[in-house]
C-alpha cells in the first residue's frame, strides 16, 4: 500500500482522535526511516522519545523473536522469570527497591497514584490524599492521569474529573510550599517537562522539593516516562539533580518501542500494595520483559548513556552558535537527547513541515518549540545533518 492508500483506509476505519499526515513508515534502520512510498527520513523524534536503541535493532528483534518462540504470556497468576530479572536490573540501576510492570506511561502513573494513596491510607491522617502536580505537566490520558496533567485543554471535554489533585506553576518553590498543606500526601513532577515545552527547572528547584517532601513526611514521585532510560544522558534524569524520588515511573524507551511501563519505588511505598490491590493482565509478561532486558543490555553495551550525553552536547553547541547568527532561533534547552529548540517566532509547525520536505523528522510542540529526541544511538554525522536541515528550513 502507498502512503495515501494507508491514510485513506485509516480515515475510514479509525476513530478520528489522531490527525497524522499521509505518511506511514514501513521500515527502519538505526536513525533512518523509510515510508510506504520508498522515501527515506532521518528520525529526530524516535517514536516520541521511545525508540532509544534505534529502529530495526537486530539484537532487540532477536530477543523478542526468541522469547516469542519460547513463550509470550502466562499472566501474573504465575511467576515470570524475565519480569523478576528485569525488576532486579532496574532496581540495580536506580534508587528503587521494587517494581510493578504495566503497558504504558499512563498506566505507570496510575499505578504510582494508587500506590501513593494506598501508602497514605496506612500512614497519614484521614483525608490526606491530595497530590500536587505542575501546570504544563503531562502524565497521560486515562481519567486519573489526565487529571494529574496540569493542562486544562486535555481535561475539559471529559468532566467530571477524579478528585484529589492540585496544580502549581513548575519551577516555583514558593508556589509549591504554599500548595502543600495538611491535605497533601505527595508531589508528582516530571523532572524535565516534556510535552509542556522541554522545561528544565532551576538547579535548586527539585532538591528544594525533595526537602519539602521530607519536612512534611510526604512522597516525591518523578514521572520519568520521557526522561528516563538514558534519554537525558544518565540512566534517569533525577541523577543529574543529586536527589532521589520515592517513586519513579518509566515507559517509552523502557522496552525499545515494545509497549511497557513500570512503577518503581523504595521504602514503605515499595511494599504498600498487597495482593489484589493492583494488577495488569499483560503487565511485565515474558515478551515485554525480554524486550526491556535486551534494550537495557544494548544501552549498556553500546555506550548509549554516554552517547546521549555527547550527542546532546554537540547539538546544544551547534544550535547555540546558530542562535547567535540567526534571529529566528532564540535558544536551545534540555538535557542529553531531549532538547527543545525555542524559536523567536511562531513558525515551529512550518519549520517541521520544511524539515520533513527535506527528509528530517522533527516534532513541533506548540507554535514556537521544536522537540528533538533522536534515537540514543544517533551519530555525530546524523546530528550535523539534522542541524544543517533545520538551518535550511529556517531560511
Ligand atoms: C512524561 C510523560 N508521562 C506520561 C506519558 C503518557 O505515556 P503513554 O502515552 O505511554 O500513556 C507521557 C507521554 O507522552 C509523558 O511524556
- Confidence at 308, pLDDT banded by 50, 70, 90: very high
Give the residue-averaged pLDDT of 300-325: 98
- Confidence at 125, pLDDT banded by 50, 70, 90: confident
- Confidence at 338, pLDDT banded by 50, 70, 90: very high
Could you tell me whether strands 261-265 and 98-102 are parallel, antiparallel, or unpaired per DSSP bridges? antiparallel
Model-level pTM? Answer: 0.98
Q: Is 196 in the pocket of ligand 1 (CB under 6 A)?
A: no
Condensed to tens digits (0 to 9), the pLDDT of residues 254-268 reads: 999 999 999 999 999
Q: Is 222 in the pocket of ligand 1 (CB under 6 A)?
A: no
Q: Is 105 in the pocket of ligand 1 (CB under 6 A)?
A: yes
Query: Tell me, what's the pLDDT at 20?
Result: 95
Q: Ligand 1 centroid to 69 CA: how many Å?
A: 30
Query: Tell me, what's the pLDDT at 194?
Result: 97
Give the residue-averaged pLDDT of 222-251: 98
Q: Whose CA is nearest to atom 7 of ligand 1?
A: 105
Could you tell me whether strands 32-35 and 363-364 are parallel, antiparallel, or unpaired per DSSP bridges? unpaired
Give the residue-averaged pLDDT of 304-309: 98
Give which of 225, 267, 278, 284 is closest to 72, Cα–Cα.
284
Q: Whose CA is nearest to atom 9 of ligand 1?
A: 105
Pocket test for ligand 1, best of 251, 280, 334 (most atoms within 8 A of CB): 251
| pLDDT of 127 over the 90 cut | no
- Confidence at 126, pLDDT banded by 50, 70, 90: confident
Q: Ligand 1 centroid to 323 CA: how many Å?
A: 30
Q: Ligand 1 centroid to 321 CA: how many Å?
A: 32
Query: Tell me, what's the pLDDT at 262?
Result: 99
Residue 312 near residue 386 (C-beta atoms within 8 A):
no
Q: Whose CA is nearest to atom 3 of ligand 1?
A: 139
Percent of the chain past pLDDT 70, that is, above it, reads 100
Distance CA(175)–CA(201), nearest Å, equals 14
Per mean pLDDT, which range of 50-59, 118-127, 233-242, 357-366 is the poorest? 118-127
Tell whether the torsion through CA atoms of 302, 303, 304 and 307 is positive or negative.
Answer: negative
Q: Ligand 1 centroid to 107 CA: how many Å?
A: 9
Condensed to tens digits (0 to 9), the pLDDT of residues 27-49 reads: 999 999 999 999 999 999 999 99
* Mean pLDDT value across the chain: 97
Give which of 301, 227, 229 is closest to 59, Cα–Cα.
301
Query: Tell me, what's the pLDDT at 393?
Result: 96
Condensed to tens digits (0 to 9), the pLDDT of residues 100-115 reads: 999 999 999 999 999 9
Atom of ligand 1 nearest to the CA of 227: 1
Pocket test for ligand 1, best of 45, 103, 113, 139 (most atoms within 8 A of CB): 139
First to last CA, the chain: 35
Q: Is 237 in the pocket of ligand 1 (CB under 6 A)?
A: no
- Confidence at 214, pLDDT banded by 50, 70, 90: very high
Q: Is 190 in the pocket of ligand 1 (CB under 6 A)?
A: yes
Q: Is 351 in the pocket of ligand 1 (CB under 6 A)?
A: no
Q: Is 131 in the pocket of ligand 1 (CB under 6 A)?
A: no
Distance CA(362)–CA(31), nearest Å, equals 12
| pLDDT of 120 over the 90 cut | yes
Pocket test for ligand 1, best of 105, 197, 256 (most atoms within 8 A of CB): 105
| pLDDT of 176 over the 90 cut | yes
Distance CA(47)–CA(361), nearest Å, equals 10
Condensed to tens digits (0 to 9), the pLDDT of residues 264-299 reads: 999 999 999 999 999 999 999 999 999 999 999 999
List domains and CATH numbers for the chain: 3-56+303-394 (3.90.1150.10), 59-301 (3.40.640.10)
Amino acid at each position: 500500500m502507498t502512503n495515501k492508500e494507508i491514510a485513506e483506509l485509516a480515515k475510514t476505519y479509525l476513530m478520528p482522535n489522531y490527525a497524522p499526515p499521509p505518511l506511514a513508515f514501513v521500515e527502519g534502520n538505526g536513525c533512518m526511516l523509510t515510508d510506504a512510498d520508498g522515501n527515506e527520513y532521518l528520525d529526530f523524534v524516535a517514536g516520541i522519545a521511545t525508540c532509544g536503541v534505534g529502529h530495526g535493532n537486530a539484537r532487540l528483534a532477536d530477543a523478542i523473536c526468541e522469547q516469542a518462540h519460547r513463550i509470550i504470556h502466562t499472566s501474573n497468576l504465575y511467576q515470570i522469570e524475565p519480569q523478576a530479572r528485569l525488576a532486579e536490573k532496574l532496581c540495580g540501576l536506580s534508587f528503587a527497591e521494587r517494581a510493578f510492570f504495566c503497558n504504558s506511561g499512563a498506566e505507570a502513573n496510575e499505578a504510582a497514584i494508587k500506590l501513593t494513596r494506598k501508602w497514605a491510607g496506612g500512614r497519614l491522617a484521614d483525608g490526606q490524599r491530595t497530590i500536587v502536580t505542575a501546570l504544563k505537566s503531562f502524565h497521560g490520558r486515562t481519567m486519573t492521569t489526565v487529571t494529574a496533567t496540569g493542562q486544562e485543554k486535555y481535561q475539559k471535554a471529559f468532566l467530571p474529573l477524579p478528585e484529589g489533585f492540585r496544580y502549581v506553576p513548575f519551577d516555583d518553590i514558593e508556589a509549591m510550599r504554599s500548595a502543600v498543606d495538611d491535605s497533601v500526601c505527595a508531589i508528582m513532577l516530571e523532572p524535565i517537562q516534556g510535552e509542556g515545552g522541554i522545561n528544565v527547572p532551576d538547579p535548586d528547584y527539585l532538591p528544594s522539593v525533595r526537602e519539602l517532601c521530607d519536612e512534611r513526611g510526604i512522597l516525591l514521585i518523578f514521572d520519568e516516562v520521557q526522561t528516563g532510560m538514558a534519554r537525558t544522558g544518565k540512566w534517569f534524569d533525577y541523577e543529574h539533580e543529586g536527589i532521589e524520588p520515592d517513586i519513579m515511573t518509566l515507559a517509552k524507551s523502557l522496552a525499545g518501542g515494545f509497549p511497557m511501563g513500570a512503577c518503581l519505588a523504595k521504602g514503605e511505598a515499595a511494599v504498600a500494595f498487597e495482593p489484589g490491590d493492583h494488577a495488569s493482565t499483560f503487565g511485565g509478561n515474558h515478551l515485554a520483559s525480554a524486550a526491556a532486558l535486551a534494550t537495557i543490555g544494548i544501552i549498556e553495551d553500546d555506550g548509549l548513556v554516554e552517547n546521549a550525553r555527547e550527542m546532546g552536547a554537540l547539538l546544544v553547541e551547534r544550535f547555540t552558535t546558530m542562535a547567535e547568527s540567526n534571529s529566528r532561533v532564540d535558544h536551545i534547552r534540555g538535557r542529553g537527547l531531549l532538547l527543545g529548540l525555542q524559536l523567536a517566532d511562531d513558525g515551529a509547525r512550518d519549520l517541521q513541515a520544511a524539515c520533513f520536505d527535506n527528509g528530517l523528522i522533527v516534532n513541533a510542540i506548540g507554535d514556537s518549540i521544536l522537540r528533538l529526541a533522536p534515537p540514543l544511538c544517533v551519530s555525530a554525522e546524523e546530528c550535523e545533518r539534522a542541524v544543517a536541515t533545520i538551518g535550511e528550513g529556517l531560511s
